[in-house]
Amino acid sequence: MKPEITFLTTDDIAQATTLYIDVFSKAPWCEQNDYDDIFRYITRLLQMNTNRCYVYKKSDHIIAMALGYVKPWHLGVEYQLDNFFVDANYQGQGVGTELLASIKNDLIKNDIPAIILETESHTPAEKFYRHNGFDMLSAQRSLTLTCQLIS
């Protein structure tokens, strides 16, 4: 059966959650994610009216995903790629590149001219994104603040 690239649906959330946890539990991430947390994250993302989440399926089995959404910026709109991952059994076989190419085509058709993402430097992910045409914006840095109530 030919692979299929479609939008993620609510019917896919359980399978998507399992794949997310499996991929990110391995090196180089070695994350310990809770199923309910990831299920809730994906559900909330799908509830956004600007979500644009894609799945790459082979024989009705999700083997790669892109979780993201469209957001405004001063020059129009852009696609924020929040998470992009491929089942470990299919990594290095062109699946990610094929999914990314399909996403780019869909975005172009919908007048969304840019993809932005964050990734850690010197990782296989950075190498993958650079191989697929992404450039680093040297002036940008990602900063994080954990908000706490001040009493």
Which residues contact residue 41 at a Cβ distance below 8 angstroms, ignoring those fewer than 6 apart?
Answer: none
Q: Give me the pLDDT at residue 27, please.
A: 85
Instruction: Identify which of 11, 37, 8, 12 has the alpha carbon closest to the alpha carbon of residue 24.
Output: 37
Could you report the per-residue pLDDT of 80-139, keeping only the tens digit for each? Answer: 999 999 999 999 999 999 999 999 999 999 999 999 998 888 888 888 889 998 888 766
Q: Give me the pLDDT at residue 142, please.
A: 65
Instruction: Compute the CA torsion angle 134, 135, 140, 146 (nearest 10 deg).
Output: 30
Q: Give me the pLDDT at residue 145, please.
A: 67
Mean per-residue pLDDT, 25-31? 89
Class of domain 4-131: alpha beta
Q: Give me the pLDDT at residue 35, please.
A: 98
Q: How far apart are CA 77 and CA 69, in angstroms?
A: 10
Answering whether pTM is above 0.75, one says yes
Q: Give me the pLDDT at residue 144, please.
A: 64
Q: Give me the pLDDT at residue 125, please.
A: 87
